[in-house]
A and B are shown apart, each in its own frame.
Chain A
């Protein structure tokens, strides 16, 4: 019998605690698929964030360490410098990377650390039940902006790809979406490119921002959430390549 589909080896059989329709499930699965396809499972080290995805060490079937809130790029920096032949990635949400951990990501990028960074932007704090994130869209209702984010009071959303695009140490920078199947396929390609960049010993950081759903905190159904990414988030956060990974793909 020919196997045409199976769970990636890089995922454990643990039942996920993510909510129905949560973007983490999709993204962690395609990360696991890419790691299998590149045959790097036994040399990959993941650094988990604080937030919903902290539990990813239960789901990934390879070495994973926790990091304090926002500090994953600092933790990953040391691991990669000491183990240059391993593949090291961080997986971080918007509270983790774009609020409390802005210094760590900016300086890891500035130093040109040879890491793959996956930044999951769902415009809200998930694990703490839906407070405003730095990436919350103007008008978006959260538990700390119940009338909707008002830029005059709460400030404007932070566009991380645009911010990082001026940093020389970043060599590959792309924003993708998970709002539909073509978007998910493109996201998987981007994740693969980010790993290939590191595997090829190309200097500098590969960074992929992925727009993702949080139906529970958005108070939407999973399918409404997909539509909201497409119609609202993608307007504010354009899906595009900010820096081409020139020398990566052979």
Chain B
């Protein structure tokens, strides 16, 4: 196993390459410009295709074409670009096409700024596009994790024939850490549904349009069954000291890593406090979060936004009498561990 010093963009790109990604289309946007730059070199080196598209709209539709042709494919962007991709993500889900999308979340709304944020949680987990669909969302907190989860995202996308979003932020995109690189994946699932020429078989067609009455409803029920299976099998989270803890901090992504430092400090001072960290934001670990929250007295949700994941915690805490607190910073504000520590003490 090789080890490399990489920033979050490069680590994620390496994860994609290890997973056998053959196609990348993207458009420059800060704070993830290193992603298309890195991929322009690496796709050529590894025999894949890199295209700098004319827009994020075009990027995601190129990804649609690459997925339709049966290849592992991806795009990366940051918040405003991801907004432009929502139509395409809806089509990917509707046509049941596997693809990986990376969002290095920056401050919004509008053009916002280029600093780290978690303000796209709703967009990511509720599906910013139209229609009844779901996107698997993974939230890494280190360069190693963004490597691992990008790799895993390709497998999940193929397994469920659905787009998978890796939700990073401006912080993870820019920070450098050592990353262990896996051997390159060589065996891939067969895609007998792809449109790659109908030699020796009946023609395939990929579509999300079903005009005959009842057919679209049936298609949606089929998707619903798939989403239910994902909810059952693909829940991921991590917890520290949550068992029987009266106080629990809930946070995800890089924000959780910052929060962990504050929790560590409070524990050293004798406070019985835990940290719960959802990794799959959809499917959300409602049951597991709920089990820990059930017996807790106070919950502090920490997010780099005005309070979005807290809605999911409210659902998870439905059977709990714990009091819920929120400490967030929107618009590119990044917490300091000290701030979170003070917030813990206050509550």
Contact = CB atoms under 8 A, between A and B. Distances in A.
Contacts of A76: 65
Given A75-B62, A82-B69, A66 B197 contact: no
Interface residues of A, number: 35
Contact of B62 (A74, A103, A106): A74
Interface string A215-248: 0000000000000000000000000000000000
A65 interface: yes
10 contacts: A45-B197, A68-B61, A71-B58, A71-B64, A76-B65, A78-B63, A79-B195, A81-B23, A86-B196, A103-B57
B54 interface: yes
Contacts of B64: 67-68, 71, 74-75, 78
Contact of B54 (A43, A64, A79, A103): A103
A87 B250 CA distance: 52
A147 B208 CA distance: 36
B322 interface: no
Interface stretch (B146-154, B198-206, B257-265): B198-206
Contact of A45 (B25, B71, B195, B208): B195
B197 A43 contact: yes
B196 A45 contact: yes
Interface in A43-88: 43-45, 47, 54-55, 57-58, 60-68, 71, 74-79, 81-83, 86
B62 to A, nearest CB: 4
A72 to B, nearest CB: 8
Contacts of A65: 65, 68, 95, 195, 205-207
Interface string B12-47: 000000000011010000000000000000000000
Contact of B205 (A57, A68, A111): A57
Nearest to A50: B209
Interface residues of B, number: 38
B87 A68 contact: yes
B198 A41 contact: yes
Contact of A75 (B51, B61, B197, B204): B61
Interface string A14-49: 000000000000000000000000000111110100
Given A66-B91, A74-B53, A82 B58 contact: no
A71 B61 contact: yes
Contact of B196 (A60, A66, A71, A83): A83
Nearest to B194: A63
Given A74-B65, A82-B71, 19 more contacts: A43-B197, A61-B203, A63-B204, A66-B95, A66-B205, A67-B64, A68-B88, A71-B61, A71-B64, A71-B88, A74-B57, A74-B64, A77-B65, A78-B51, A78-B62, A79-B65, A79-B195, A104-B57, A107-B54
Nearest to A86: B197
A92 B229 CA distance: 37
Interface in B55-86: 55, 57-59, 61-66, 68-69, 71, 73
